[in-house]
Amino acid sequence: MDIFLLEAVLNGVMFGGLLALLALGLNLIFGVIDVVWICYAELVMCGMYTIYWLHAVYGVPFPLAAVAAILLVALLGVLLHRIIIEPILGSAPINQLLATGGLLFFLQSFATLLFTTDFRNVGIHLPSLELGDINLGYARILAFAVALVGAAALYLFLARTYLGTAIRAISQDREIMGLMGVDQRRIYLITSAIGGGLAGLAACLLVLQYDVHPFVGLSFGPITFMICVLGGLGNMIGGVIAAFIMAQIIAIGGYELSVEYSEVLAFLVFIVLIMVRPQGILGK
Amino acid sequence: MLEVTGLSADYGSFRALFEVSLGVEAGETVAVIGPNGAGKTTLMRVISGLLPPHSGTLAFEGRSLAGLEAHRIVEAGIAHVPENRRLFPRLTVEENLRMGAYMSSARARFVERRGWVYALFPRLEERRNQLAGTLSGGEQQMCAIARALMSEPRLLLLDEPSAGLAPLVVQQVFDLVRRIREEGFTVLIVEQNVRQVLELVDRAYLLEAGRIALGGTADELKRSDTVRRSYLGL
Amino acid sequence: MNRSWIIAGVGLAALALVPFVASPYVLHIAVQILIFGMIYTAWSFMGRFGLTSIGHGAFLGIGAYTTALLWNLYGVTPWIGIPAGMALSVLLALVIGYPCFHLKIVGHYFALVTLALGQVIALLVIAARDVTGGSLGMTPTQVGESIFAFQFPNRTHFYFIALALWLLVLGVWYWVAYGMRRAALDAIGEDETAAAAAGIDVMREKLRITVISAAITSLGGSVLTQYLMYLNPETVAGVGISLQIVFAAIAGGMYSALGPTVGALLTLTLTESLRILFGTHFIGAANTIYGILLILFIVFLPRGIMGLIEQFSLFRGTREKESRLPL
């Protein structure tokens, strides 16, 4: 096999891990609360700016900045739910999607106001692992590893803890959660925090590889939604599978065509696949 | 133990309960019988907090339950086994039991509780890792009751436990309720299967079109003309 | 009914006078309000019946780029280019709409599919940068005032063209709102299965309204390009403009004829006032406020400004039934 194609495939696998992490957060929110946070990528952007500001501007050590970012975006998730979603939880789901659309505008523009549209780099440049002629950036490898660990942690949390079980249960039968002694509202807030936290974690990984700017969300936001829908909205395993598929399309497409056409291809594939199987790969 | 006075409640836009009053003493087993649409399930839901009442009072062990949300009522000691079982289909039997024991007080004694429940329902223990949605009707009913018992309730609300079950299984379910009764639980049971339930309970109320039409001991109701004609087919 | 006609007549007369009393700057804004009003109204044809699209930038972009590219590359007059763009948009609408409606893709799913559509067009424009100029945009070759080239640097002329088109689109709005189709579409919006059981050809009605919406949006995109004489993928495709369309239509009130145009008035005056107030210091201020307003409107005023006005005022002519549709 062409060695550079192999490199593309490997990069695709690692990119897939990162996309899978993003998809997990979105799917968690959708599966549990039944809302689409269309501004999810913008939450990630907030995390990226937090790390930039703390680490590159104020010299806070990266690990600390990372933790701060995760906590901050988790808090943003809670606020998003409390302030924007809760008041309109009863109305049509599309309204909730649109309201988060408002937040998308707001976050992008607020970031522009604060930081201007300049591209900013956190200034951490990790070297590459060289395997023969193949170069794999350590940043990529790290992102992949952390994403896997994050996914595993989420799985264990959902499968083994009371709270995790309650979160799984609420999407299966919302109404009787109260009869279990579970405060539905609290579960939603905790889930929002976890969804935000996952976005924050993704931000930590992205910031090692890409510059941050107010519209960086547009680079991976729409792709993440496509992945979630492709895997079956709300289905976490489906999202992970779809993430790796999409990542491969983009990686190989980027190698054979061009980076930009590869994304066009990815979206076209999405549209075709959704026509063929609208509920997604693992959707019900 | 439970005192319901003048309770009125709405189901959607129409009134389902009109000034319903009833009582359950500690240790008793009481039934609420009546035709479809009489408001029996609505009554259960108001007591357990799933539905807010329009007016009237609801008191449990002297404490008012007014305005409490469902999860607080569970904490107060009332467990509700809903109509149609309502198990979490994609959780295992044991995970469903865990949900029943979600309250911190119950959680702490989960293992002990679980042991007791499995002793009462050996078939469930065999199926502990099976997805609840794949259980048979009778097993689901047992699982639903077991789940409710995990929170160590002092009052158990059973909503139509025999619904949709084969006659043999219905018998098993009622035997189960008998055993629970023998363990000392207080039970309020809503049922359409009048004949069987009157053999089981101490007292009963007849709810028709949202109003209490009759109330008395099980024997009294068995002998009443209304009940005999309309519900026992005699 | 008489009173409405009088008010309409007065309004029309006032609109006709604008170029003669307004400063060139205000006229410039007025033209844009009419064109964007057209575009937002086109979106509302779908939005008000429960087909919420967050990818209308696709049709806008197709209209804009088809017209501009045909002119720049092959000298094809926009009189052909504009219908060509509309035809392409209609084709796309059918190609996507047919499977979507057949497979009952609605709600979130439908919105996300439309998002993908908007993205594909935007990404395609950027990828084909040799031809389209990519993110930097492109300009239609200028030839001065020319009917053949559909270029009218004289603002007053363009104003009347825009006004005529706007009135045409309003006409289409009334046709949709008061035609026989309306009841069918409302029924579909509320309960598709019941509507189908009642004998309504759900697929055909949905396709019809989608095609109308796509065609007019495309027309708007082309006309906008001919007016501004500049286009880039940010302003005519992609998530940003698609959400802006949604925002404006909702804020103005998508259940009434003038609602979306009110939305255009809102968004344009907002952007312009902010630009005047803050110059280039606060780029991004406009969208920050849009964002907050969109949230506030969805939570508190889902029927938009016109919805509010209709509740309180004399314009009871287009009274809308209390709808359980989205928004």
CB atoms A165 and B50 under 8 Å? no
What residues in A contact C326, CB-CB < 8 Å? Answer: 91-92, 94-95
Q: What percent of chain C is modeled with pLDDT above 90?
A: 30
Span A216-228, average pLDDT:
92
**Predicted pLDDT of residue C145:** 79
pLDDT surpassing 70 at residue B218: yes
Question: A234 to chain B: which residues are within 8 Å by CB?
Answer: none
Q: Quick one: pLDDT band at residue C167, thresholds 50, 70, 90?
A: very high
* pLDDT tens-digit series, residues A110-132: 898 888 888 888 888 888 888 77
Closest by Cβ to B102, choosing from A172, A175, A182: A182
Q: Give the count of beta carbons closer than 10 Å to the beta carbon of residue A156.
A: 11
Mean pLDDT of C128-138: 84
**pLDDT over threshold 90, residue A161:** yes
Nearest residue, CB atoms, A178 vs list B71, B90, B107: B71
The alpha carbon of residue B71 is apart from the nearest alpha carbon of chain A, in Å, by 4
Measure in Å the smallest separation between the Cα of A250 and chain B Cα atoms: 34
The length of chain C in residues reads 327
Which band of pLDDT confidence, cut at 50, 70 and 90, is reported for residue C297?
A: confident
CATH architecture of A3-115+131-276: Orthogonal Bundle (1.10)
CA dihedral C46, C50, C54, C57 (to 10 degrees): 0
Residues A110, C104: C-beta atoms closer than 8 Å = no
Report the percent of chain C where pLDDT is more than 70.
Answer: 91
- Residue of chain A with shortest Cα separation from C134: A260
Interface pTM, i.e. ipTM:
0.88
Mean predicted confidence (pLDDT) in A35-63:
93
Q: C302 touching A, CB under 8 A?
A: yes
Distance from CA of A116 to the nearest CA of B (A): 48
Determine the residue of chain A that is closest to B76 in CA distance.
A181
Residue that is written with structure tokens 């063929």 in the block: A276
**Mean pLDDT of all residues belonging to chain A:** 90
**Close Cβ partners of C262 (under 8 Å, ≥ 6 residues apart):** C251, C252, C253, C304, C305, C306
Neighbours of chain A (3+ CB pairs under 8 A): B, C
- Alpha helical stretches, state H, chain A: 3-33, 40-51, 62-79, 93-115, 138-160, 162-170, 184-206, 217-231, 236-256, 259-276
Q: How far is A235 from chain C (nearest CA, A)?
A: 14
pLDDT for the residue C155: 84
Query: What phi and psi, each to the nearest 5 degrees, are found at residue B30?
Result: -120, 140
Rounded Cα distance between C297 and C307, Å, is 11
Interval A60-74: pLDDT, tens: 999 999 999 999 999
DSSP alpha helices (H): ranges in C48-154?
Answer: 57-74, 78-102, 107-127, 129-132
Indicate yes or no: CB of B71 within 8 angstroms of CB of A182. Answer: yes
Q: What is the CA radius of gyration of chain A?
A: 19
| pLDDT 10s digits, B203-215 | 999 988 888 888 8
For position A1, what pLDDT does the model report? 63
Number of residues assigned to chain A: 284
pLDDT over threshold 90, residue B15: no
Locate C281 and state its tokens: 């210091």
Q: Which residues contact B223 (CB under 8 A, 6 or more apart)?
A: none
Distances (CA, A) of A234 to A240, B15, B89, C114, C314: 11, 37, 16, 19, 47
Mean pLDDT is lowest, of A136-150, C78-92, C269-283, for: C269-283
Helix, strand, or coil (residue A120)? strand
Name the nearest CA neighbour of C133 among C230, C218, C241, C57.
Answer: C230
Task: Say whether residue C298 is in contact with chain A using an 8 A CB cutoff.
Answer: yes
List the domains of chain B with CATH numbers: 1-74+188-234 (3.40.50.300)
pLDDT mean across residues, chain B: 89
What's the pLDDT tens digit per position in B138-193? 899 999 999 999 998 999 999 999 888 888 888 888 988 998 888 889 999 998 88
Interface of C with A in 52-81 (CB under 8 A): 52, 54
Residue A70, classed as helix, strand or coil, is helix
Is the pLDDT score of C311 beyond 80? Answer: no
Q: Where exactly are the structural domains of chain C?
A: 3-236
Among residues C271, C256, C324, which one has the least CA distance to residue C4? C256
Q: How far is the C-alpha of C263 from the C-alpha of C254, rounded, in Å? A: 9
The CA distance from B205 to B212, in Å, is 7
The C-alpha angle C199, C205, C208, rounded to 5 degrees, equals 155
Indicate if the pLDDT at residue C259 is higher than 70: yes
**How many pairs of residues across A and B have Cβ atoms under 8 Å apart?**
65
CB contact under 8 Å between B49 and A177, yes or no, is no
Domain boundaries, chain A: 3-115+131-276
| pLDDT higher than 60, residue C230 | yes
> Which residue in B9, B1, B142 sits closest to B59, CA to CA?
B1
A-chain residues near C294 (CB < 8 A): 98-99, 101-102, 105
Facing residue for A172 by CB, picked from B50, B75, B88? B88
Q: Which residue of A has its CA nearest to B148?
A: A180
Q: Tell me the shortest Cα–Cα distance from C52 to chain A, in angstroms.
A: 8
pLDDT at B233 > cutoff 80: no
Place of tokens 């999405």: A270
Q: Is the pLDDT of residue C180 over 70?
A: no
Residues of C in contact with A218 (CB under 8 A): 238-240
Is C295 in Cβ contact with A103 (below 8 Å)? yes
Average pLDDT estimate for C41-63: 92
Tell me the mean pLDDT in the region C288-298. Answer: 85
- Contact of A198 with A24, CB cutoff 8 Å: yes
Question: pLDDT tier at C320 (50, 70, 90 boundaries)?
Answer: very low
Nearest to B71 among A168, A173, A181 (CB): A181
Provide long-range contacts, Cβ within 8 A and 24+ apart, for A112-119: A112/A214, A112/C283, A112/C284, A112/C287, A113/C282, A113/C283, A113/C284, A113/C285, A113/C288, A114/A49, A115/A49, A115/A213, A115/A214, A116/C283, A117/A213, A117/A214, A117/A215, A117/C283, A118/A213, A119/A211, A119/A212, A119/A213
pLDDT band at B234 (very low <50, low <70, confident <90, very high): low
Residue C316 has pLDDT above 70, yes or no: no
Q: Is the pLDDT of residue B195 over 90?
A: no
Report CA torsion sign: A8, A9, A13, A16.
positive
pLDDT at C282: 66
Q: Are strands B211-217 and B203-208 parallel, antiparallel or unpaired?
A: antiparallel
Instruction: Look up residue B6 and give its amino acid.
Output: G
pLDDT band at residue C321 using 50, 70 and 90 as cut-offs: very low
Tokens matching residue A265: 């291809």
**Which tops the pLDDT comparison, C121 or B67?**
C121
- In this prediction, residue B224 has a pLDDT band, given cuts at 50, 70 and 90, of confident
In which band, very low, low, confident or very high, does the pLDDT at A38 lie, cut at 50, 70 and 90? very high
Give C283's contacts in chain A (Cβ within 8 Å).
Answer: 112-113, 116-117
Query: Which of A165, A172, A180 is facing B89, going by the closest CB pair?
Result: A172
**Residue tagged 């201007």 (tokens):** A116
Residue C324 confidence (pLDDT)? 36
